[in-house]
Chain A
Amino acid sequence: MSFTFQHAAQFTEVQASDPRIAKIGAAIRQYQRRQDSLIQILHLAQEIFGYLPVNVLRYIGRELKIPPSRVYGVVTFYHFFSLKPKAEHSVVVCTGTACYVKGAQSILDHLERKFGIRPGMVTPDNKVGLEQARCLGACGLAPAVVIDDKVVAKATPEEISAMIQNKVGAAS
């Protein structure tokens, strides 16, 4: 994981007066600072910040008395957690077996050709981030794509690319 200057703010200490930090602190106390609550706390932090900034991870580690190396280890182990800020809009293409069999790959191929993004990448203007999901459990709707938490059932490449075009705006 590499960091550029735009992420530098992450390295300053968090402020306990920040209401977002206060919320995390309250949850940590609710779990009685038990170390096994780490993953639950990380879930909460990501919900609040949209991703897991490094200074927030340091704060959580300190509060739970877990070394930063272990917190980092847990964060990078699970797909759910992200160390990078998310793009404005998220597009998740399900590549579970049912969706794969029904053409999820052709959607990904199409998006790569059209917008030059592969799963894990964001458009240069940081508007749209593309991810792939292992299985959303919406196999009856295959292929499924989730755009900003809304499920598009039986998606076609053209439909998805038109919807993304809408989000990006006429600029690109």
Chain B
Amino acid sequence: MNLEKLNEIAQAARRKRAGLKNKVCVCAGAGCLSSGALEVLDATQKAVREAGLEKDVQVVPVGCMGACNQGPLVKMEAEDTVYQKVAAGRAGQIVEKHLRNRSLVDDLLLFSDSGAKEKASRELPFYKRQVKVVLENCGEINPEEIEDYIAHDGYRALEKVLTSMSREEVIGELKESGLRGRGGAGFPAGLKWEMVYKYVSDEKYVICNGDEGDPGAFMDRSVLEGDPHRILEGMAIAGYAVGANKGYAYVRGEYPLAIKRLEIAIKQAKKLGLLGQRIFETDFNFDVEVRIGAGAFVCGEETALIASIEGKRGVPRPRPPYPAESGLRGKPTLINNVETFANIAPVLRRGADWFKSIGTPKSPGTKVFALAGKIANTGLIEVPMGMTLREILFDIGGGIPGGKRFKAAQTGGPSGGCIPEQHLDVRVDYESLVGLGSIMGSGGLIVMDESSCMVDVARYFTEFCMDESCGKCIPCRVGTTQLHHLLSKICNGQGTMQDLELLEELAPYVKEASLCGLGQNAPNPLISTLRYFRDEYLAHIVDKKCPAGVCKTASLTGVR
């Protein structure tokens, strides 16, 4: 494989597209698949054949288009028109009306049920405010065809890096770009790479953390399902920069489709010589193996993840030494999150200056969020860092359905906190969210309205952490159990002011004394709801009432 051959593949794929009058993209993301996208795909292909259009129109499955609760989605590429809630039975009508008669199927237009009239999806408020870097190919290309990825500048960054840049230059460019780890903590990616690069060892590893365990988060899943080659390219570039020849992609067992597509992508890349020996005719060898997680939230923690790849119980260990020094099998190991790897190819292809032009000076680039909960447009979005929460939730997310009132947005899952109404105008970047007592987290953004009880939410997250605690260290194992016990008491209407005091006394201990991030962050939802919604706690304790009507205070007698 060399640049010439890469160009040939890209041109052949583009010629194929140019010879077509239209391309019909059927969303095959997890959300749309569950609402019957495969049947829609078959029906559309059949309808196109029956209409005799198969020479002019190609029907392809693509990755997530974002508007998940409107699925199954079908996009007409030439006009950028997206149809929503397409039942297989209506595929024929779409082919007939849109492709043949060049008119629109009005009642299926995306968001037409909420009054939208825009024909091109890019004009819709949902898409208009988004900036796509990580998701640029999601919903555009067929994730199971490497040629499609190559036609969209795929593997160009890898070619550029291997043939014209030194390892130091790659790391320098990444540091210059200011890209920060998208797993949640926001550690500068360039610094992490440099640390691994500096350790001398006969063997090093690159690990992609795809153990997306936060409930309510599906960003990594969508990237893996919609554009798997992007991850492989990012990992290969990382391997070259830090001096590793072997990569592991650790993916949750709950994501069979992501695993399947990643495995297909690896096979295709190996066949074309984009992974394996002597990539782009250089001395660089790199291989990627998929490792399937087995359902343990704590495995998102890097040392626990490494233990899991080694075939052991996913139990974390104290750091230092950090994985950069002693990771997988005791060798220097680079671990980055899926979304971080997805940013690598664009940064190196288009340069650090381009990347810095998006987002804020301290948090450059974009962030992918999974919008869920009590919000009109649930789904997957990508916005520049620094956009306000109000813009994200109301302009893109479409606000709260059913005329209900916004109460809080929860970021960072069980490790994060909530942001109440008075802080809706916060600019979303790493530092501002920490300032409000929450964290950026990996990108789950759950919206709660007035019908959600914040004490119950805190209890829910604490129960999650209690169940998922690996049990190695006492502050987490016993601490989360006690926190949950006290919160359940309050939810059941049996809490006292002493319990509240005890909660406030215990939370900092769990935070400070726990071994890994799971325990250290487990009290966050509690602390943050106490900070902003203390009155709800008091209502449960003093008045024995749940203002939102969620907790069954009067009817319950025993502690759950």
Contacts and interface: CB of A to CB of B under 8 A. Distances in A.
Interface in A14-56: 34-40, 42-43
B254 A133 contact: yes
Contact of A100 (B68, B309, B370, B460): B460
A101 B30 contact: no
A35 B379 contact: no
A77 B296 contact: yes
A137 B373 CA distance: 13
A128 B221 CA distance: 29
Interface centre among B30, B215, B217, B444 (most CB of A within 10 A): B215
Nearest to B225: A137
Contacts, number: 131
Contacts of B292: 39-40, 43
Nearest to A37: B311
A80 B294 contact: yes
Could you say which interface size class chain A belongs to? Answer: 35 or more
Contacts of B35: 141, 153
Interface centre among B71, B311, B410, B460 (most CB of A within 10 A): B311
A127 interface: no
Contacts of A169: none
A164 interface: no
Contact of B373 (A34, A42, A70, A97): A97
B313 A135 contact: no
B31 interface: yes
A141 B294 contact: no
A165 B107 CA distance: 36
A97 B380 CA distance: 16
Nearest to B292: A43
Q: Which are the 3 A-B pairs with shortest beta-carbon distances?
A: A140-B68, A96-B215, A78-B294
Interface centre among A73, A74, A100 (most CB of B within 10 A): A100
19 contacts: A34-B311, A38-B312, A73-B313, A77-B313, A78-B294, A96-B216, A97-B216, A97-B413, A97-B444, A98-B372, A98-B446, A100-B215, A137-B212, A139-B217, A140-B68, A140-B372, A140-B378, A140-B380, A141-B34
A79 interface: yes
Contacts of B215: 95-98, 100, 134-135
Contacts of A87: none
